[in-house]
Every structure is written in structure tokens, then in C-alpha cells.
Amino acid sequence: MKFITRYEMKVHGVENSQYWRGYKSDKHECTYVGIGKTISDAAENAMDQAASDGWDVDGEQSKANRVESPLLTDKTSMCDTINCINRNSKDGCDMCELHYYVSLALT
């Protein structure tokens, strides 16, 4: 189990998956990038990746270093952010290649 001493969670906005340049924090040991249709989905995706890699993101082993962020509860829809014209179509969001990107940098 890897214990968190410092973290930073950052929203990178809505991007097309084919054009995402990536992100790496120089101030932290590891960086995980999550994607989702909402900010909270992307943040949870980044946390799941970190947990799969052995980080104690829930603070189960070290209660003082739990990752907490208002981004984890932000349900802002990507379709609302970009004012998507396909949001009410049958396959609109399922066919869309746009996602929120949220990074979680850990030390």
C-alpha cells in the first residue's frame, strides 16, 4: 500500500480523445488521468486508477491522507458545458468522443 502525503486534483476541461495531449505533474511522484461524461465521473476514474496501482486514495490505512475534492461531487454534464446539439438524440452521447479530463497527481 502506498500512502499519500500530498495530492492535487485538476480539471483539464472537455477534450476529444484523439487530440488529448496528456498531463504530467513535475511536483508529484505519479499522475493519473481520468475521463468521464461528468467531472465527478472523470475524478472517480482517476482515483480508481490510483487505487489499482496501490495508492490508499480512500484513506483506509492512513485516515489523515484521504483524497477529498469538490470535484468528486461535481455532476456538471459535458453536454451542458459545450451546449451539445446531440444531447437529446438517440445515440448522441454514446457516439461522442468528447470527455472531461481530470488529473490526480500523488506523492
86 occurs within a structural domain: yes
pLDDT digits (tens, 9 = 90+) for 33-88: 999 988 899 999 999 999 999 998 887 766 546 677 888 888 877 777 776 766 66
Tally of structural domains, the chain: 1
Q: Is the pLDDT of residue 90 over 60?
A: no
Check if the beta carbon of residue 8 is closer than 8 Å to that of residue 28. yes
Q: What's the confidence (pLDDT) of residue 102? A: 93
pLDDT digits (tens, 9 = 90+) for 92-105: 566 677 889 999 99
44 occurs within a structural domain: yes
Q: What's the confidence (pLDDT) of residue 73? A: 86
CA atoms within 13 A on the CB side of 91: 2
pLDDT digits (tens, 9 = 90+) for 6-37: 889 999 988 887 888 888 888 888 999 999 98
2 occurs within a structural domain: no
